[in-house]
Amino acid sequence: MERLVKTLAAGCLCVWLLLGGSGAQAEQVQVAVAANFVPAFKDIAVAFEKQSGHVVQTTSGSSGRFYAQIKNGAPFEVFFSADDERPTLLEQEGFGVRGSRFTYAIGRLVLWSQDPALITDVEVLKTGKFKHLAIANPQTAPYGTAAMQAMKQLGVWDSLQPRIVMGENLGQAIGFVESGNAELGFFALSQVLEDKLKGKGSRWDVPSNLHEPIKQDAILLTKGQDNSAAKALLEFMRSPQTRTVLERYGYELD
């Protein structure tokens, strides 16, 4: 009888540990993710779901559009922005939980082409041996702003204006190059380190001193303040496991 009790107790302990050890039930979290962060976040979300039992529902897009949507009542509970400005505003305006905002990564800008021979260095922008250059809209996408700043620093912004095609976000912008509608473009390094593009084409890593730092902040939104999955996800972002993923996708850490 004593042995049976011990066996049942051990079994209950195993179940308790598998459920996270807290008795909390699995929940779903609605997450808004800036386009540049999607490749890395896919890996992070899979690991988080496996470890926690929670379910992550991801929507990708531009940080500027997410900012407007959140203010207009979009049901997002966590926001991973491509900048620090919009999460700061959301916190100040009462749409984000005060004290929950933090910098989860610092992004890197890259000039990339599918053509392995097109980009050797920055000179490709000055010689102009291409028809179209893709960037994300600087009004809504922080990486688009960084691309504009870099081109202005290089003295080529004005001359390249007629050749620029703008995507609403980085995902759309890189789609222009992948489809052949533009020969090259400015993107996040994380995008070209994704498995389907890694090692392909040609690229030039843009020096960080050519644009303002791309500090990417995350924030718990007020719609998620009572959601244990939302809080657990943000905590998971600080784990060594997540930091390893971020480094693999070329992000710098604060």
Domain(s) of CATH 3.40.190.10: residues in the chain: 26-106+214-248, 107-210
Which pLDDT belongs to residue 93? 98
Q: What is the mean pLDDT of residues 49-77?
A: 97
In CATH, the number for domain 107-210 is: 3.40.190.10
The pLDDT, as a whole number, for residue 11 is 42
Three-state SS for 128-183 is CCCCCEEEECCCCCHHHHHHHHHHHHHCCHHHHHHHEEEECCHHHHHHHHHCCCCC
Checking if the pLDDT of 13 tops 60, the result is: no
**Predicted local confidence at residue 25, as pLDDT:** 77
pTM assigned to the model: 0.85
Q: Identify the CATH number of the domain defined by range 26-106+214-248.
A: 3.40.190.10
Average pLDDT, rounded, for the chain: 91
Amino acid of residue 139: Q
